[in-house]
């Protein structure tokens, strides 16, 4: 372990951003609505792809 720490310089530059996130403020209901809509769209896309794949497997070859 001594070799690992010996390779580091003595000073570390500060981060370019604050390392503590500010608290949420404002109306969180809009954020909740956006998240619910995104999840619903994802679930609908997944379901439609699964149904399309199932229907393609059941199509008889002519």
**Residue 58 has what DSSP assignment?**
H
6-62 residue pLDDT tens = 666 667 777 787 777 777 667 777 888 889 999 999 999 999 998 888 888 876 665
pLDDT of residue 31: 81
Place of tokens 């609908």: 44
pLDDT of residue 1: 54
pLDDT of residue 9: 62
Question: What is the Cα–Cα distance from 41 to 48, expressed in whole angstroms?
Answer: 10
Question: What is the Cα–Cα distance from 6 to 17, expressed in whole angstroms?
Answer: 27
Place of tokens 């720490």: 5
Using CB atoms within 10 A of its CB, is residue 34 exposed (0-12), middle (13-18) or buried (19+)?
A: exposed
């Amino acid at each position: 372990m001594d070799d690992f720490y010996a390779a580091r310089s003595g000073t570390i530059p500060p981060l370019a951003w604050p390392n503590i996130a500010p608290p949420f403020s404002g109306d969180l209901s809009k954020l909740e609505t956006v998240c619910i809509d995104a999840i619903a769209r994802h679930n609908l896309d997944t379901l439609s792809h699964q149904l399309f794949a199932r229907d393609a497997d059941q199509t008889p070859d002519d």
